[in-house]
Amino acid sequence: MGVLHEECGVFGIFSLSRKDLAGSVYFGLHALQHRGQEGAGIVVNDDGVFTYRKDLGLVSEVFDQDALTKLGEGNIAIGHVRYSTSGSNDRTNVQPIVVKHVKGAMALCHNGNLTNSYELRQELELSGSIFHTTSDTEVISYIITKERLTAPSIEVAVERAMDKICGAYSLVIMSPTKMIAVRDPNGFRPICYGMTPEGDYVVASESCALDAVGARFVRDVEPGEMLVFTKDGMFSDRTHTGKAERAMCIFEYIYFARPDSVVDGCSVHEARMRAGAYLADEHPCEADVVIGVPDSGIDGALGYARRSGIPYGVGLIKNKYVGRTFIAPDQKMREKAVKMKLNAVPSTIKGKRIVLIDDSIVRGTTSARIVRLLRDAGAKEVHMRVTAPKFIAACYYGTDIDDPSCLIANNHTTEEIAAMIGVDTLGFLSVENVVKLPDGGKTKGYCTGCFTGEYPTPVPSERKKAKFERKISEKGE
């Protein structure tokens, strides 16, 4: 449980048989709440008229029954849950972005992070564009809108925009008559679609959100693919498929996705079990019980226990009413959230040699707090095993690490980190094995840039998260 942040979850539904879609989007966003807890929004399309609500907070805080009722009815609706990886946690940055222009309204949801947003925004501003947000999502909306002025259709405008934007983007776009799902040519972030028994098309960041609304998973959107949903059915545009090497974010399997999701054909639960087994092979130890840090360390702990033969036990209990510390937007809030979030089970811990499985160590603060909980509960020894390699580099594709100097592994050896967080031994999963997590190494093409410093695309020239919000003194003006 590090102190990283992930970006967003997107959801959309297109129906010809019913118009009460706001509730379905609400349930879909609930299933994606783990992907972002800063803001949420829903837009409903009633014959080209867009009604929307978006605000800071959890899905249940932004939408009550009255708010959902006021969204009205429509045959297309899209929604978004957000964590800010580009642009601050501000109400104006909450998605979906809604644009009204001469060719008709458009609403857009974005999961990921552009690597050339700074240059694109400068170009647009110098040509007269006025921005209302500080997120790269508005850059995408401007480019699509600009292309739409000469394009014969919204999908052609989107296809042209894909020639200009770079980096990670899984998009759900709504026009007056269509819903569009897009995945960047590298396929950094997941997006899939399914169908309900009534024939509704549903698009979501993860398959667990399809389950939440009773939709059957059909398939993942392929890297570079655009799916267009209309009253006449669905068609695929593959103009951009195969134009870049596949580079799915491996951390989706380690932490971001829910364990009940299937991402690019691979079970997240099984990937995390596999991580635990690899750790048992790479970093064995003598111990009495294996425990996992809820929630994303549990599957790894089960995998470690099965491979090592050491019994699995429930050693930490999570307060289900406290959000992920990973998503909390500043360090003080993260530390307070950890104190409220977890408690040790003394009967499992006292007098025992513990193998503690977690998904990551980023700055070490959260890990140290958890180890203290175990020591206070009477742990005799604590051997920590991490289902990810060491974080040593920035991520430019939607994980909020823009300053490698804050990463503990850049400044300390494994032994030093072990001493700092208070464990007897410490072991990280190797880069060689982390890329085997999804299916045992059968599939190639995963981004491990945050572990290796090697990236599948050119890195941004301006690398700070708040690059559009700097003080005058910080700009050197």
State the Cα–Cα distance between residues 444 and 446, nearest whole angstrom. 6
Considering the domain architecture, whether residues 57 and 194 belong to the same structural domain is answered as yes
Considering the domain architecture, whether residues 274 and 360 belong to the same structural domain is answered as yes
Considering the domain architecture, whether residues 209 and 302 belong to the same structural domain is answered as no
Considering the domain architecture, whether residues 75 and 202 belong to the same structural domain is answered as yes
Residue 308: inside a domain:
yes
Considering the domain architecture, whether residues 241 and 275 belong to the same structural domain is answered as no
Residue 50: inside a domain:
yes
Residue 265: inside a domain:
no
Residue 150: inside a domain:
yes
CB atoms within 10 A of CB 104: 14
Residue 430: inside a domain:
yes
- Can 109 be counted among the known catalytic residues? no
CATH number of 403's domain: 3.40.50.2020
Cβ-proximal residues to 11 (8 Å cutoff; 6+ apart), any chain:
25, 28, 29, 32, 78, 79, 80, 109, 172, 202, 203, 204, 205, 209
CATH number of 168's domain: 3.60.20.10
Considering the domain architecture, whether residues 68 and 122 belong to the same structural domain is answered as yes
Residue 296: inside a domain:
yes
Q: For tokens 């609403």, name the residue.
A: 107
Catalytic residue among 8, 208, 266, 395: 8
Q: How many CA atoms lie within 13 A of 99 on its CB side?
A: 28
Residue 469: inside a domain:
no
Domain count across the chain: 2
What residue numbers bound the domain in which 373 lies? 270-450
Considering the domain architecture, whether residues 185 and 106 belong to the same structural domain is answered as yes
Q: How many CA atoms lie within 13 A of 258 on its CB side?
A: 20
Please, which residues bridge with residue 217 across strands? Answer: 194
The model carries a pTM of 0.90
Considering the domain architecture, whether residues 212 and 88 belong to the same structural domain is answered as yes
Considering the domain architecture, whether residues 128 and 161 belong to the same structural domain is answered as yes
Query: pLDDT by residue for the chain (477 residues), tens digit each?
Result: 444 555 699 999 999 999 999 999 999 999 999 999 999 999 999 999 999 999 999 999 999 999 999 999 999 999 999 986 544 557 888 999 999 988 889 999 999 999 999 999 998 888 877 888 888 999 999 999 999 999 999 999 999 999 999 999 999 999 999 999 999 999 999 999 999 999 999 999 999 999 999 999 999 999 999 999 999 999 999 999 999 999 999 999 999 999 999 999 999 999 999 999 999 999 999 999 999 999 889 999 999 999 999 999 999 999 877 654 444 556 566 555 666 788 999 999 999 999 999 999 988 888 999 999 999 999 999 999 999 999 999 999 988 777 888 899 999 999 999 999 999 999 999 999 999 999 999 999 999 999 999 999 999 876 554 544 444 455 544
Asked whether the beta carbons of 206 and 215 are under 8 A apart, the reply is no
State the Cα–Cα distance between residues 455 and 453, nearest whole angstrom. 6
Considering the domain architecture, whether residues 211 and 305 belong to the same structural domain is answered as no
For residues 396-419, one letter each, b for 16 or more C-beta atoms within 10 angstroms of the residue's C-beta and e for the rest, the string is bbbbbbbebeebbbeeeeeeebbe
Closest CA to 37 of 79, 1, 7, 11: 7
How large is the angle between the packed helices 268-282 and 298-308, nearest 10 degrees? Answer: 50
